[in-house]
């Protein structure tokens, strides 16, 4: 039996999520025995033709050419899994969605006319059907191995969609918000990192994006009441998953309105 | 394709580099007419959206410019912000920063040596293919890489985009006892690093000599990594604040990375520059490894940069052990950095070269302007010049061989194309 083929694709991103695969130092050679790494430009100049059994896609869509390329990648991939906040939410470069990309270009480049880019940075799922999204900025190595193992064995990956708070409790970390008043996005943030930040005495900064049923409005009210200034509240969700948190808070606003009406 | 003596050579998507790029070579008759390193990584506009952010945010935000060297971005960002605010971080906090940076050097260099560059020298398309014939070698490389990541994970919280760095220091400083198991890992890594230096010294190196200006961070008494001023091979010395007086970035049509020149000249930053300017400050063990590997006081063949990287890994492991041995937990994990209006500058040595940050802050500490000059844009003109000379000397090679050699040559510079914010696509145009 021929081994399943794995392809890794990059769009606008920092390379960190595909590097996570190479960071599996203890598992990489074993994995290479289980799958044929058929297309992984960061790691190999040998490229086997598709179609591929499993494609991992890193990065967001920010150019017209990439919007075309992702359609081609989808066509030649039996299963397509997006990895990381750029691919699942548009990444930090989605801050342009809330600004003026022409003005952004003029700030960075003296000759903006040489630069071709879209006005928005959008997740892969906005362009093609995606079979599974793995969250994180960056993704977690153990979760990546879980996703690879699951798809190689034809089952769904086990990556809980509850909040970082669950992971803090499991880790035995004292709540930084309750004990120290440290602003923390853990209650609204998707689990997966293992609750690293609170274990280091800082609040979660939301790099895995929104959890399954978040209430960011409640959290910002709570934070505001404890002295976090308005200007800072505006920025706390405006990072690596800005578009995902924005979509949630738009939805959360209507939920809250409904809640208010019942009072 | 060959038409008479004129041809173009094109590498469509360069593999084993970080990011996306392409290479285009135009040959007319027997003369190389043009060499272009095309960077088509889509722009991500970091300098634009940093405006309006708080002075505490650049370490987390700019880490996302590069998943391979996030610590470099975090460190240059911290230095620049602290400079703007008139704060100097030293003592054990500075030592912890250097320790974290050593972790990134070990991880990034081991990645580059074993997974990206060694397959070129030994004739394999990938490290995985190489591992079929050289299993033990690859296991050694992965163990070394893992040791670097062990530093990043302990001190930074995770290997990619560490969470423990803040302006002024760290969120949490480790206890001495936490570093003991790390020291044990590093003692094994030191043997792996020495074996790595001896292994790469035995590779077959094509001839190529460069005469570029060289630029590196320089700090008296040490092999500069995480702080310092700047020095050049021609004897120029200037502080980070004067970087923009000397380095001018220009946009070229074929690249989303800006091209830089130093006082009007192309220049090179990275391992060769560091080794020439600070090599005498390496630890005795690293100097011995360099001598045993056949390096003199300077190395001007970019192909031999893989040896310099291996020597730097020896040094980084050695240095990490030295820092751990002398570590005393600081009274607080960070110093306060109260904001003030001003401009600050920071330079550090990313594994692939000098990384400059500048921030303008208003009185509330909000960023009004940001300038980031990554190593790859500084090196791009020198890379193109080197490739031109390299191709000219090998003009009779067929396209397949020439393309392979060019790809190997580009990897000499460990280009991190993500920092422009994509693959090398090589085109040789023999028209």
pTM of the model as a whole? 0.93
Top pLDDT among B36 and B187 is at: B187
For residue A120, give the chain B residue with the closest CA.
B44
Question: Whole-number mean pLDDT of chain B?
Answer: 90
Compute the distance between CA of residue B170 and CA of residue A172 in angstroms, rounded to an integer: 22
Compute the distance between CA of residue A63 and CA of residue A69 in angstroms, rounded to an integer: 10
Residues of chain B contacting A239 with CB distance shorter than 8 Å: 60-61
Residues of chain B contacting A207 with CB distance shorter than 8 Å: 161
**Minimal Cα–Cα distance from B161 to chain A, Å?**
7
Where does the pLDDT of residue A102 fall: very low under 50, low under 70, confident under 90, or very high at 90 and above? confident
A41 closest CB neighbour out of B61, B139, B423: B423
Where does the pLDDT of residue B310 fall: very low under 50, low under 70, confident under 90, or very high at 90 and above? very high
Written as six digits, the tokens of A98 are 């809330």
CB contact under 8 A, B61 and A239: yes
Neighbours of A116 (CB within 10 A): 14
> What does each C-alpha distance from A223 to A23, A173, B61, B347 come to in angstroms?
36, 20, 22, 36
- Give the H or E element holding residue B429: strand B426-429
Average pLDDT over residues B29-44: 80
Q: What is the pLDDT of residues A120-161, one digit of tens each?
A: 999 999 999 999 999 999 999 999 999 999 998 999 999 999
**Minimal Cα–Cα distance from A5 to chain B, Å?**
14
Q: What is the pLDDT of residues B353-411, one digit of tens each?
A: 999 999 999 999 999 999 998 898 889 889 989 989 999 999 888 888 888 888 888 88
B157 closest CB neighbour out of A18, A95, A196: A196
Q: What is the pLDDT of residues B224-241, one digit of tens each?
A: 999 999 999 999 999 999
Who contacts A115 (Cβ-Cβ below 8 Å, separation ≥6)? A105, A109, B43, B256
Where does the pLDDT of residue B256 fall: very low under 50, low under 70, confident under 90, or very high at 90 and above? low
- Give the H or E element holding residue B158: none
CB contact residues (below 8 A), chain A span 55-114, against chain B: 62-63, 66, 91-93, 95-96, 99, 101, 103-105, 107-111, 114
**Minimal Cα–Cα distance from A250 to chain B, Å?**
22
Residues of chain A contacting B64 with CB distance shorter than 8 Å: 14, 16, 91-92, 137, 240
CB contact under 8 A, A117 and B142: no
pLDDT at B425 over 80: no
pLDDT of A114: 63
Residues of chain B contacting A20 with CB distance shorter than 8 Å: 160
Lowest mean pLDDT among A26-30, A48-52, A256-260, B339-343: A256-260
Q: What is the pLDDT of residues A193-230, one digit of tens each?
A: 999 999 999 999 999 999 999 999 899 998 888 788 88
CB contact residues (below 8 A), chain A span 5-64, against chain B: 10-20, 22-23, 25-26, 28-29, 32, 37, 40-47, 62-63
Average pLDDT over residues B184-212: 96
| Span between the terminal Cα atoms of chain A, in Å | 63
pLDDT at B202 over 50: yes
CB B215 within 8 Å of CB B368: no
pLDDT of B318: 98
**Minimal Cα–Cα distance from A109 to chain B, Å?**
7
DSSP string, B391-415: HHTTTTS-HHHHHHHHHHHHHTT--
**Minimal Cα–Cα distance from A40 to chain B, Å?**
8
Question: Whole-number mean pLDDT of chain A?
Answer: 89
Written as six digits, the tokens of A7 are 């392809």
Q: Hey, is the C-beta of A235 within 8 angstroms of any chain B C-beta? A: yes
pLDDT of B420: 40
Angle at B234 between CA B228 and CA B235, to 5 degrees: 50
Residues of chain A contacting B51 with CB distance shorter than 8 Å: 107
Compute the distance between CA of residue A197 and CA of residue B263 in angstroms, rounded to an integer: 43
- Within a 13 Å sphere around the CA of A125, how many CA atoms are in the beta-carbon half? 18
With CA atoms as reference, report the closest residue to B23 among B431, B394, B428. Answer: B428
């Amino acid at each position: 039996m021929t081994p399943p083929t794995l392809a890794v694709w990059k769009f606008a991103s920092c390379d960190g999520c595909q590097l996570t695969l190479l960071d599996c130092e203890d598992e990489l050679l074993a994995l290479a025995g289980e799958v044929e790494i058929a297309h992984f430009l960061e790691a190999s100049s040998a490229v086997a033709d598709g179609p591929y059994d499993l494609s991992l896609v890193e990065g967001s869509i920010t150019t017209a050419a990439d919007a075309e390329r992702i359609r081609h990648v989808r066509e030649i991939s039996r299963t397509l899994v997006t990895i990381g906040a750029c691919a699942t939410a548009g990444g930090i470069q989605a801050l342009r969605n809330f600004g003026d990309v022409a003005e952004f270009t003029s700030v960075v480049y003296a000759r903006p006319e040489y630069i071709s880019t879209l006005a928005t940075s959008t997740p892969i799922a906005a362009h093609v059907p995606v079979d599974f999204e793995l969250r994180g900025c960056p993704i977690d190595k153990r979760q990546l191995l879980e996703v690879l193992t699951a798809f190689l064995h034809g089952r769904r990956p086990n990556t809980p969609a509850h909040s970082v708070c669950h992971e803090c409790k499991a880790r035995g970390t004292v709540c930084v918000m309750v004990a120290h008043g440290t602003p923390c996005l853990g209650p609204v943030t998707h689990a997966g990192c293992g609750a690293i930040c609170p274990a280091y005495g800082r609040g979660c900064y939301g790099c895995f994006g929104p959890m399954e049923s978040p209430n960011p409005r409640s959290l910002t009210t709570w934070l505001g009441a404890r002295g976090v200034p308005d200007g800072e509240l505006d920025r706390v969700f405006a990072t690596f998953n800005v578009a995902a948190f924005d979509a949630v808070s738009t939805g959360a606003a209507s939920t809250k309105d409904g809640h208010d009406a019942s009072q | 394709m060959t038409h008479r003596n004129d041809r173009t050579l094109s590498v469509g998507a360069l593999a084993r580099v970080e990011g996306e790029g392409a290479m285009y070579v135009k040959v007319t008759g027997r003369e190389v007419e043009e060499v272009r390193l095309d960077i088509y990584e889509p722009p991500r506009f970091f300098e634009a959206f940093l405006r309006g952010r708080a002075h505490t945010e650049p370490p987390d935000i700019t880490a996302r410019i590069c998943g391979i060297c996030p610590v470099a971005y975090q460190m240059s960002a911290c230095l620049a912000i602290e400079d703007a605010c008139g704060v100097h971080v030293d003592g054990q906090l500075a030592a912890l920063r250097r320790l974290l940076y050593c972790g990134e050097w070990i991880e990034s260099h081991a990645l580059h040596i074993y997974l990206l560059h060694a397959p070129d020298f030994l004739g394999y398309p990938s490290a995985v293919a190489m591992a079929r014939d050289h299993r033990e070698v690859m296991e050694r490389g992965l163990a070394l890489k893992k040791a670097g990541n062990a530093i990043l994970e302990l001190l930074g919280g995770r290997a990619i985009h560490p969470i423990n760095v803040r302006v002024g220091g760290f969120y949490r400083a480790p206890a001495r006892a936490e570093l003991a198991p790390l020291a044990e890992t590093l003692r094994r890594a030191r043997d792996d690093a020495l074996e790595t230096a001896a292994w790469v010294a035995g590779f077959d190196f094509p001839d190529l000599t460069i005469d570029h200006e060289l630029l590196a961070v320089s700090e008296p008494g040490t092999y500069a990594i995480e702080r310092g001023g700047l020095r050049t091979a021609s004897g120029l010395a200037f502080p980070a604040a004067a970087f923009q007086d000397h380095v001018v970035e220009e946009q070229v049509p074929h690249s989303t990375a800006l091209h830089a020149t130093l006082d009007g000249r192309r220049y090179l930053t990275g391992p060769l520059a560091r080794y020439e300017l600070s090599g005498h400050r390496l630890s005795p063990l690293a100097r011995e490894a360099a001598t045993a590997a056949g390096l003199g006081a300077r190395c001007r063949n970019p192909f031999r940069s893989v040896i310099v990287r291996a020597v730097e890994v020896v040094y980084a492991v050695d240095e990490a052990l030295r820092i751990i041995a002398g570590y005393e937990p600081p009274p607080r994990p960070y110093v306060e950095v109260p904001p003030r209006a001003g401009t600050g500058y920071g330079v550090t040595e990313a594994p692939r070269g000098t990384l400059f940050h500048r921030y303008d802050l208003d009185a509330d500490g909000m960023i009004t302007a940001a300038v980031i000059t990554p190593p790859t844009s500084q090196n791009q003109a020198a890379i193109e010049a080197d490739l031109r000379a390299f191709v000219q000397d090998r003009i009779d090679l067929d396209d397949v061989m020439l393309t392979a050699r060019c790809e190997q040559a580009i990897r000499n510079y460990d280009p991190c194309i993500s920092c422009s914010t994509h693959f090398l696509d090589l085109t040789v145009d023999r028209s």
